[in-house]
């Protein structure tokens, strides 16, 4: 049996890991890079580029360079997050046939799972070159607050990349697994604060004797380091407009240069107190070329981004309350994700939890390492590791009046089975539609529809008399089965809720074939 790899499919960068002689290792590329930019591009000559090669040409080819696919994957085109991205990203975003998100690169339309598959293919190739054997199985990480459709879209990306996805695991949980491998000690309660390039998660876990139990988790799948970059970019645009009268926000190439400069300055300010941003020939007018040259201090960056970090702290507070704990009950705070290098983030996390965050794990690599640990636990016959995860969002059904009635509350440990008795809303009603939803809103339409089915054969009676037992069953892999049964007539109907990535099985199969052709081209 070949090696099973763990992949952290990130918004900004991705990382791959595997177990070697009982220990997890981060696999570097031939060039020595331990992480790979999650960027895909098509050149003017129709050549596909992934990773570092794609990122290097982004400034000169902004329209055809796709980045931050993770922020959009599994979302509906009509969602507010996609509308926001359409206005800010340099590439074209369009609507797919199933209200999914598609992007245009090199004149061709790509789905988001297809773009993510290109990144996964690159991670697979890096692993195969290093391990010198074919890799077919993987554990892939996702933000803890991803809904079922986003998780399915990620799984479809793995299938397109030619990988059997053994498990989709939450990023903070993976980080906790890696931390547990490093700190083999007494029982403790930890908080994993995960602020990456595009998403934020906070998870509270209890560790002890090989058991990793998630107590509570929450997050924001559209909050991350990219928002820091955007804050800097907006400031640069405003300053340049004030001094020259030229608005750079309408120039795609200029925006890509600003984005690149903003990210570099942000990273520099994690180590130094001020950074110089110098972009010559950024624009021109009738009087000649214009250059952008200004200093950005750490204090100014904190002023521009403090509200972003405050949003994460508010989510942390809510998560601790949901876990029915106090901040003093947390023994250790683990920082995960590249954006946690920010001095402002570290200061606000320290002030909130009242303790110095643990810095013994690599923020860019720890999630991939945890995925490899989980991969080994799934494939080895003897393992001392037990992972008890939770469902991040409530699951339930739509009820009369357009309301949402949850049957399984968020942060419920899986596997789990729960049922509830419902009844009819009209006299002589013989059928009911069961609409399965996921989310936290009291209104059904504000939540994500996972599936629906009809229960027929109910006896004619006055409304409120028939008793219909609706049951939810979630297994360890997060697969949801829903059944409805009329307790008098014994008529029963059920559905296995299969989340939608926006792709049909035929589309996934066709994309997988195209990906195989691309993989052959790479090898040649």
pLDDT in tens, 52-108: 999 999 999 999 999 999 999 999 999 999 999 998 899 999 999 988 999 999 999
pLDDT at 129 over 60: yes
pLDDT band at 477 (very low <50, low <70, confident <90, very high): low
Spell out the long-range contacts of 89-93 with Cβ–Cβ below 8 A and sequence spacing 24 or more: 90/62, 90/63, 90/65, 90/252, 90/255, 90/256, 90/259, 91/62, 91/63, 91/64, 91/65, 91/66, 92/63
Query: Which pLDDT does position 262 carry in this prediction?
Result: 96
Placement of tokens 């809303």 in the chain: 425
Question: Cβ(440)–Cβ(487) under 8 Å?
Answer: no
Query: Which pLDDT does position 298 carry in this prediction?
Result: 97
What mean pLDDT value characterizes the chain?
A: 92
Which residues have C-beta within 8 Å of that of residue 66, sequence separation ≥ 6? 39, 40, 41, 91, 103, 105, 110, 115
Which residues have C-beta within 8 Å of that of residue 424, sequence separation ≥ 6? 432, 458, 461, 463, 464, 465, 466, 468
User: Helix 505-523 crosses helix 112-131 at what angle (to 10 degrees)?
Assistant: 40
Query: Which pLDDT does position 80 carry in this prediction?
Result: 92
Query: Which pLDDT does position 382 carry in this prediction?
Result: 64
Annotated catalytic residues are: 8, 70, 171, 194
Higher pLDDT, 482 or 504: 482
Query: Which pLDDT does position 518 carry in this prediction?
Result: 80
pLDDT at 225 over 80: yes
pLDDT in tens, 169-206: 999 999 999 998 777 656 899 999 999 999 999 999 99
Mean local confidence (pLDDT), 141-163: 93
pLDDT at 1 over 60: no
């Amino acid at each position: 049996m070949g090696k099973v790899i763990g992949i952290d499919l990130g918004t900004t960068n991705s990382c791959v890991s595997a177990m070697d002689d009982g220990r997890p290792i981060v696999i570097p590329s031939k060039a020595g890079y331990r992480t790979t930019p999650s960027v895909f591009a098509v050149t003017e000559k129709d050549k596909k580029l992934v990773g570092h090669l794609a990122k290097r040409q982004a400034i000169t080819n902004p329209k055809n360079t796709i980045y931050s696919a993770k922020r959009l994957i599994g979302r509906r085109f009509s969602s507010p997050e996609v509308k926001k991205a359409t206005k800010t990203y340099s590439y074209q975003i369009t609507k797919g046939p199933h209200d999914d998100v598609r992007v245009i690169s090199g004149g061709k339309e790509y789905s988001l799972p297809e773009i993510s598959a290109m990144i996964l293919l690159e991670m697979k190739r890096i692993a195969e070159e290093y391990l010198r054997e074919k890799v077919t199985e993987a554990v892939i990480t996702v933000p803890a607050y991803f809904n079922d459709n986003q998780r399915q879209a990620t799984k479809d990306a793995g299938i397109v990349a030619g990988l059997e996805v053994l498990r989709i695991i939450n990023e903070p949980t993976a980080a906790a697994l890696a931390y547990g491998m490093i700190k083999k000690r007494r029982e403790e309660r930890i908080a994993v604060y995960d602020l990456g390039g595009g998403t934020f998660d906070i998870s509270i876990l209890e560790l002890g004797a090989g058991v990793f139990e998630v107590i509570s988790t929450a997050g924001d799948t559209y909050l991350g380091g990219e928002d820091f970059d955007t804050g800097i970019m907006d400031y640069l645009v405003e300053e340049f407009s004030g001094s020259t009268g030229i608005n750079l926000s309408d120039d795609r190439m200029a925006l890509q240069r600003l984005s690149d400069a903003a990210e570099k300055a942000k990273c520099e300010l994690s180590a130094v107190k001020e950074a110089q941003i110098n972009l010559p020939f950024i624009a021109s007018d009738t009087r000649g070329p214009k250059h952008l040259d200004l200093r950005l201090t750490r204090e100014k960056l904190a002023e521009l981004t403090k509200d972003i970090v405050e949003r994460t702290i508010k989510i942390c507070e809510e998560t601790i309350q949901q876990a029915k704990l106090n901040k003093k009950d947390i023994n250790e705070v683990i920082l995960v994700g590249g954006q946690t290098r920010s001095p402002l983030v570290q200061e606000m996390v320290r002030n909130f939890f009242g303790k110095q965050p643990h810095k013994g794990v690599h923020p860019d690599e720890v999630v991939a390492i945890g995925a490899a640990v989980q991969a080994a636990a799934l494939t080895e016959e003897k393992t001392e590791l037990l992972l008890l995860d939770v469902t991040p969002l409530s699951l339930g059904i739509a009820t009369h009046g357009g309301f949402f009635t949850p049957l399984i509350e968020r942060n419920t440990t899986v596997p789990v089975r729960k049922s509830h008795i419902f009844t009819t809303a009209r006299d002589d009603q013989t059928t009911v539609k069961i609409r399965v939803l996921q989310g936290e809103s009291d209104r059904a339409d504000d939540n994500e529809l996972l599936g629906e089915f009809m229960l027929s054969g109910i006896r004619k009676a006055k409304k409120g008399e028939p008793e219909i037992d609706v049951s939810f069953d979630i297994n360890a892999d997060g697969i949801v089965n829903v059944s409805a049964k009329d307790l008098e007539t014994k008529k029963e109907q059920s559905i296995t809720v299969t989340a939608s990535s926006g792709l049909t099985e035929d589309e996934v199969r066709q994309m997988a074939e195209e990906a195989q052709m691309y993989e052959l081209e790479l090898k040649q």
